Structure 1
Amino acid sequence: MNELQFRDVPESDVDRALELWWLVFHDRPDEKEKREYHRAMVLRCDRVGAYDGDALVGFLVAHRFTLSIPGGELPCPGLTFVSVAPTHRRRGVLSGMIAELFRRCADHARPVVALWASEAAIYGRFGFGAGTYGTSVEIDSTRPLALRVDPDRRPLRLIDADDAPAELGPYYEATRTRRAGRIARDSVRWRGEWLPETDEDDEELGPPRIVGLGAIDEPLAGYAIYRTRREDDRAKSGTVQVAELEADTAAGEAALWNYLAGIDLTGTVRAWGLAPDDPLLLFAADRDQVKAVAEFPALWLRLVDVRGALTARSWEAEAFLVLEVRDDRVPANAGRFRLAVSPHTCTYEATAAAPDLSLDVRDLAACYLGGTEVRRLVLAGLVTEHTPGAAAALDAALRTAELPHTADEF
C-alpha cells in the first residue's frame, strides 16, 4: 500500500471526485443540469483530497462562507461533500483530510469551521459541537389560523423567482446579523440553493413562490419562500412547504403565516428548521393547531482557533474565568486560559492558575454562538464546574437576544 497523501484536488480531478461522492452516497443525478451545478459549486470551493498513489480515495470541499457571530461575522469554511472510498475505510482518510483542512484554516486566519452532519456520531470526535438547532413546525390550515397578535395590515405581493435575489438579497443581508449562525448568500447561492425550479428532496413540490410584505414602492418588511403540493385525490388537501420566512416584526411574521395558512386547496403548512425561539411558537393562539413536531441539531461548529473565535465575538456581560480546554486535534487550543470579557473587550491568555471550568473544545463550540447554556452541560456531566457560579457567569456573558439559527443547509 502507498502512504496516503493529502493535497489539493485540481480541476482535472473534480469529475472523479464527484463520482466518488456519488458512490459513497449511493446517488448519481440523471439530470445533466444538476451534475453541472455540482461541478460548478465544487470549483468555487476549497478542495482537499486523499490520494493513495494516483488513486483519489477521499474528498472534501469547503465553501468560502461568511458566518454571522454575536457582534459581527467571521470567514467560516463550510465543510461538505465528505467522501471516503469504501476500499479505504478505517485507514485515517477522514482524519487526515480534516487535519489538512484545520491546518489551512490556521494558516489563513479562519478560526471556525461549520458543517451539517449527515451522521451526527462522526463529527464530535473531531471537535464539532451543535451550534444551532432547528424546529420543524406543522400547521393545520383547514381552519383559519388563530393568532394572539394582529397581523401587519400592509399589502402582500408576489415576487417573481427571477427577481427574488435582487429583491430579497439586500433585505436578508440587512437582517442577517440579528441572529448568529447565518451565512451570507450571493446570487449564485440564492438561485442554486433557494430558488431552483425543482426541489431536490421532493420533486412533487411545485416551483418556488415568494410573497413579500409591503407595497411595491415601500421597503420590504418581510418575505416567505414556499412551494405547494397538490393532491390528485380531491378528497385530500394540498400542502404548503415553507423554506424560509423573515419579517421585521412579530406582526409582520403573523401576516406572512396568515397568508400561508390561507392558500386555497391546501390543508397543511409545514416549515422545516425554524429557530427554536421563533415568535410563531408564542403568538399561535392554539398550539394544537401549530405543533412543533421535531427539533434537531442544525449547524455544527468547530473552533479551530479558540482564541481567535472568542476575541472576535461580542459579550453581553463581564466574566473573569480560567478555562481548562481539552482538544486532541489542535494542540494549540489545549490548556488553561484566563478569559476576561466585558461588553467591549475580550482577552484570552495562557495561565497556570487553577481552572474555574474544564470542558472539551466541542462543548465550547456548542456554546459559542449562544445556543447552548454551559450550565446544561454541567448538569449533563460534560463540563466540570470547579468554582460555584462559574457556569452561570459564562452563560451571562455568552447570552444573545435571539438564539442562533441557520436554515442554510449545505
Structure 2
Amino acid sequence: MVDIRGVPESDIDRALELAYLVFHDRPEAEVRERHHALLGRCDRLGAYDGDLLVGFMAAYDFRLSVPGADLPCPGLTFVSVAPTHRRRGVLTRLMAHMLGRAADGGSPLAALWASEAAIYGRFGYGSATTGATVEIDSSRPLALRIAPDRRPLRFVDPEDAVAVIGPCHEAARAARPGRPTRSPERWREEWLTEQDEEDEELSPPRIIALGDPGEPVAGYVVYRTKPEGDGGSARTPGLVRVDELEADGPAVAAALWECVAALDLTGRVRAWGRPVDDPLLHFAADRDQVRVTAQFPALWLRLVDVAGALTARSWAAPVDLVLELRDARMPANAGRFRLRAGPHGTSYEPAGAAAADLALDVRELAACYLGGTRVTELVAAGLVQEHVPGAAAALDAALRTPVLPHTGDEF
C-alpha cells in the first residue's frame, strides 16, 4: 500500500534522484546543489511504498497576479512517479493531497507548467496563458515604426539586480495577470545563475537597464549570448537569447530590443516565452525580420476554491449568470451557482432551482479565469454548453483584461 506523506529534508536527495530518473536528466553537481536548495524552501509531498520513495511533488510558495488582485497560489514542480509504480493512482493521490493542502491553507488557486499537456486536464487544470517564441534577424539594424526612448542605457551587476530592476519587474507583474512572485532566491538561483542549466555554451547573464541616473529604471533586458557556431552545411550566426524584457512603455521596449539586436558578432535574437500580444510584433517595421516561430500553452491553472477565486478578482463589465459547474476532483466546487459581478463587488452563491445559463467543467473555467481564453471559443469547441444565447459573450466581456495574461516564469 502506497502511503502519502510529507517528505523530510533528509529525503530531498532521494526525491531529486527520482525526478532525474523520470525526466531522463543527469545534472552536474552545481545544478544538483541548486535544486536541493530550491526544494528545501518548498512544500514537499511524497508517495512511499514502505521505505521506498516512488512518487514526489513539491510546491513553491507563490502569489499570482490576477485581475485586480494578488492571490496565494502554490506552484507545483518536480512532479514525478517511478516507472515501476505508474498507472497505480500514485499521481492522483499526490495531487489530491496537494490540492487539499492548498485549500486548507487558504489558496484559491494552484498552478504548474506541464511537461506533457495531456496529463493535467483530468485534475481540473486549464491552460490559462500562452507563450510565444520570437526571433529577430539581427544581421541588419532592427527596423522600427516608433522612435525608441533615448534615455541612457547601462549594465547592471547581477548582484545588484533585485534592488535595481526588481521594482520594475514587480510593476510589470502587477500590470499583467498570470505572473508569480519572484523571491531574491529565485532571482539568484533560477534567472541569474552564472551557467545556464540547459546550454553551457551560453554566456553568463547580462542585464541592461534604461533610465536617467538616480531615477527608477523604466525597463530592462536580461540576456545571454552564444558565439558563432558550426551549423553543418553553414555557419550559424552568434545568438542573443533574451530571457526577460520589461518596459513601462513601447518606446522603452523599442530601445531595449534595438540594443540587443545591435550587439556585435551576433546575427539573431531569440526570445522564448514572450506574450502573444507583445508590442514588438506591432512596432516592428518588417515582420519578415521579426517572426513568431512557436506558440505554446504556458501556465496551467487550477481553481481550488472557485468561490474564493471568482470573488477576489476584478471584472471589466457587469455580469449576472447561473453557472452549472462540474468538478470531479473537488466536489465542493460542483453545483449550480449564481455569479453576480461588476465594479461594485462580486457574489457567487448556490442558485437553487434556477436554470443554468452556462454549463462547464472547472478546467474550462480555469482556462478563462485570467482572461486569456474566451468562453465563446470553448462553446464553439463543444466544451462549454450555452443554454441561454449571449451568456458566453457576457461572461467574456466581464472577464476581459486590458492585456493578455502571461508569464515567462517556468517552474
SS state at 2:363 partner: helix
Q: How does 1:8-407 map to 2 (within 5 A)?
A: 8-31=6-29, 33-232=30-229, 236-351=236-351, 352-407=353-408
How far is 1:26 from its partner?
1.5
Contact 1:157 1:215 in 2 (8 A): no
Contact 1:137 1:293 in 2 (8 A): yes
How far is 1:235 from its partner?
5.8
Normalised by the size of structure 1, how large is the TM-score?
A: 0.97
Q: Distance in 2 between matches of 1:235 and 1:122?
A: 39
Q: 1:218 to 1:27 in 2, by over 3 A?
A: same
Deviations 1:79-121 (A, max 9, x none): 0101111111100000000000111111111110000000000
Question: Which amino acid in 2 is paired with 1:58?
Answer: G
How far is 1:175 from its partner?
2.6
Q: Distance in 1 between matches of 2:15 and 2:371?
A: 36
SS state at 1:121 partner: coil
Q: Distance in 1 between matches of 2:249 and 2:103?
A: 40
Contact 2:273 2:408 in 1 (8 A): yes
Q: Distance in 1 between matches of 2:366 and 2:187?
A: 28
Q: Distance in 2 between matches of 1:187 and 1:106?
A: 27
Question: Which amino acid in 1 is paired with 2:89?
Answer: G
Aligned length: 407
Question: Which amino acid in 2 is paired with 1:222?
Answer: G
SS state at 1:17 partner: helix
Normalised by the size of structure 2, how large is the TM-score?
A: 0.97
Q: Distance in 2 between matches of 1:215 and 1:407?
A: 27
20-29 or 238-247, larger mean C-alpha shift: 20-29
How far is 1:218 from its partner?
2.2
Question: Which amino acid in 2 is paired with 1:287?
Answer: R
How far is 1:190 from its partner?
0.5
Q: Distance in 1 between matches of 2:68 and 2:198?
A: 34
Q: Distance in 2 between matches of 1:89 and 1:126?
A: 16
Q: Distance in 2 between matches of 1:18 and 1:294?
A: 31
How far is 1:236 from its partner?
4.5
Q: Distance in 2 between matches of 1:236 and 1:347?
A: 57
How far is 1:30 from its partner?
2.5
Q: Distance in 2 between matches of 1:409 and 1:236?
A: 27
Question: Which amino acid in 1 is paired with 2:192?
Answer: L
Question: Which amino acid in 1 is paired with 2:13?
Answer: D
Q: Distance in 2 between matches of 1:232 and 1:105?
A: 47
How far is 1:373 from its partner?
0.5
Q: Distance in 2 between matches of 1:232 and 1:282?
A: 31
Question: Which amino acid in 1 is paired with 2:394?
Answer: A
* Runs of 4+ displaced beyond 6 Å: none
Contact 2:229 2:237 in 1 (8 A): no
Question: Percent sequence identity over matched residues?
Answer: 67
Question: Which amino acid in 2 is paired with 1:398?
Answer: L
Contact 2:321 2:340 in 1 (8 A): yes
